[in-house]
Amino acid sequence: MADSVLDHERLTGLIAPDAKLRHLGGGASWSEGPVWLPTRRVLRWSDIPGNRILEIDPTSGQSSIYRTEVEFTNGRTLAADGSVIQCSHGRRAIERETDGEVTILVDSWDGRRLNSPNDVVVARDGSIWFTDPPYGIVQAHEGHPGEREYGGNFVFRFVPATGELHPVVTDMEEPNGLAFSPDESVLYISDTSSALRTDGTGNHHIRAYDVIGASCKNGRVFAVVEPGVPDGFRVDVDGNVWTSSADSVQVYSPNGQLLERIPVPEVVGNLCFGGPDGSELFIAASTSIYAISTLTRDATTGAASCAQ
Ligand code: MG
């Protein structure tokens, strides 16, 4: 694929004027869950329908299959200790992966199984926040058919040290991606309930919640994203929200203004910052991984390790 040149008139200081979208590799069925692994300098991501985890070295362009038969992993992030925290549709669980060894952290709430955890972030206090929509139990190619045992689609906070799990958001239809503002005072969560519907109903927006201690209050719509849905997204050091959509990566200011649109030739599923100095944006889009150099980096402490 030829590199695409951005529309420079839309540049806002977030991307260098000569930045180009680069196609790094492909071969996946549906790409999700990208995370930069600073110690190995590779991008790891999920091919959900392929039921495998892939990796690519952005310098050499070399891609490889990391593991197969992985129980349909989806979103993932780095914990402070360097382990990978990831969602498994098949196990209906949040799991920790350290050097290829996988441990289930949590797979039930109040005696009932989770739906199919979709995306996950780790707060500075070590708590793990994740979304739990039904996509992995209602689509056979993304998990195992099953029932919604607790009857909702919640966002949860899990404390690994104590095993405590409690819902923090219960008023969204189908929560999907999530990320904190730089000071963790706001939690952004996308609702993608329009994704599987053909009648034009459902949500394709990102909501914002004030984080008060271990709970979320004052939920409101932050941005309505079109075309398609805002699946996964990240927040940069200045609080801008970089989100997926059907035709582009879209960047919203902290007050919800659309700042930038980076066209991508495939439907975007998720993205993350990484690379040697943390300023590379990696984009998981349908069959492929793309990259573009930015002038910013991820807001989170976990991604700060990208600079290593
Ligand atoms: Mg997702």
Token digits of residue 54 = 């892939």
Distance (angstroms) between ligand 1 centre and the Cα of 132 equals 10
- 302 has pLDDT over 80: no
Enter the pTM of the model: 0.94
Residue 18 alpha carbon to ligand 1 centre in Å: 30
Compute, in angstroms, the gap from residue 178 CA to the centroid of ligand 1: 9
Å from CA of 71 to ligand 1 middle = 16
Q: Where are the domains of the chain?
A: 4-293
Q: Ligand 1 mean position to 85 CA, how many Å?
A: 14
For ligand 1, the distance from its centroid to the CA atom of residue 303, given in whole angstroms, is 18
Q: How far is the CA of 32 from the centre of ligand 1 (A)?
A: 7
Tell me how far the alpha carbon of residue 194 lies from the centroid of ligand 1, in angstroms.
Answer: 13
User: What's the pLDDT tens digit per position in 18-76?
Assistant: 899 999 998 999 999 999 999 999 999 999 999 999 999 999 999 999 999 999 999 99
Residue 9: per-residue pLDDT: 45
> What confidence tens digit (pLDDT) does each residue in 190-229 have?
999 999 898 889 999 999 999 999 999 999 999 999 999 9
User: Residue 33: CB partners within 8 Å, gap ≥ 6?
Assistant: 44, 45, 46, 48, 73, 74, 75, 76, 86, 87, 119, 232, 270, 284
Q: How far is the CA of 302 from the centre of ligand 1 (A)?
A: 19
Rounded distance from Cα 162 to ligand 1 centre (Å): 27
The alpha carbon dihedral of 261, 263, 264, 265 has a sign of positive
Write the pLDDT tens digit of every residue in 146-188.
999 999 999 999 999 999 999 999 999 999 999 999 999 999 9
According to the model, what pLDDT value does residue 111 have?
97
**Distant-in-sequence, close-in-space partners of 143: CB < 8 Å, separation ≥ 6:** 71, 72, 89, 90, 92, 116, 135, 136, 137
Torsion from C-alpha of 213, 214, 215, 216, nearest 10 degrees: 70
CATH 2.120.10.30 at 4-293, yes or no = yes
* Cα(192)–Cα(230) distance, integer angstroms: 7
Cα 173 from chain centre:
18
Ligand 1 centroid to Cα of residue 9, in Å, is 31
Instruction: Report the distance separating Cα 279 and Cα 276, nearest Å.
Output: 8
- The predicted pLDDT at position 11 comes to 56
